[in-house]
């Protein structure tokens, strides 16, 4: 029960911390999350260190998200 409460508090804190972001920061955060998921998935399929693939994908996705304007 305590573990579930800790997870809820941490998730709520993370979401609250993202509420004051401007549009560019939101795009960078979204791009980083999408890039991390894509990098991890691709690395898992191809073979290799999944954590490295996720980190490279996150960095690339965040950069692209921050630089592209809607």
Per-residue pLDDT of the chain (70 residues; tens, 9 = 90+): 788 888 888 777 777 777 788 989 999 989 999 999 999 999 999 999 999 999 999 999 999 999 998 7
pLDDT of residue 58: 96
Domain edges within the chain: 21-69
| Nearest partner of 18 among 30, 1, 6, judged by Cα | 30
What confidence score (pLDDT) does residue 45 get?
Answer: 96
């Amino acid at each position: 029960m305590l573990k579930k409460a800790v997870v809820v508090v941490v998730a709520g804190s993370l979401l609250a911390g993202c509420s004051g972001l401007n549009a560019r920061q939101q795009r960078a955060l979204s791009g980083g999350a999408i890039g991390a998921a894509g990098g991890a998935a691709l690395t898992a399929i191809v073979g290799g260190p999944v954590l490295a693939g996720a980190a490279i994908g996150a960095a690339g996705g965040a950069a692209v998200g921050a630089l592209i304007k809607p």
